[in-house]
Structure 1
Amino acid sequence: MKHKKIIAISISLLTFTGIIISCSDSGDSTEITSSSNSGSSSNCPTKTCADFKSQADAQKTFDSNKSCYKNLDADGDGKACESLK
């Protein structure tokens, strides 16, 4: 009889611990997702090469924050909006 109570309590504790771990893991992944979103594009205004009149203007914007405006450098060579003159 005592063994059945011990087993039942052990199973309950393991289940409870599993639920806590499961909830904390899903909470951590949400934080990672939101922080990675906020670190990249959410604080950056959306800019495309069509927003600039010249390559020099696009380059100034790109140089001001290369991680924010990385889409202005399509081939990754450090030159923004090379199709503009």
Structure 2
Amino acid sequence: MVNLLAISLFVLSHLIPSLPGVRPTLIRLMGRNGYLATYGVLSLVLLGWVFHAAISAPWCWRGFPLNGRPGSRSLCLRSASF
């Protein structure tokens, strides 16, 4: 469930600013540099949470199809980004 929440918030954090009028309003309220800094930090934090959730998910280590084979961790990280 945490995995779903992490990826959902990450996706929403990228979709909401793309809605008409949202990004210009945020830039007007925070300034261009403030918006970019906030958006960048938020994106990195949420991406880190997605990676952490994927690595700590039990199916990445013990479940089918990875089953602890070499490269399992790499596959989990790649799957977290999709």
Q: Shorter-chain TM-score: what band? A: 0.3 to 0.5
- More helix by percentage: 2
Normalising by structure 2, report the TM-score.
0.37
User: Higher Cα Rg: structure 1 or 2?
Assistant: 1
How does the TM-score come out when normalised to structure 1? 0.36
Q: Using CA pairs below 8 Å that are at least 6 residues apart, which structure has the higher relative contact order?
A: 2
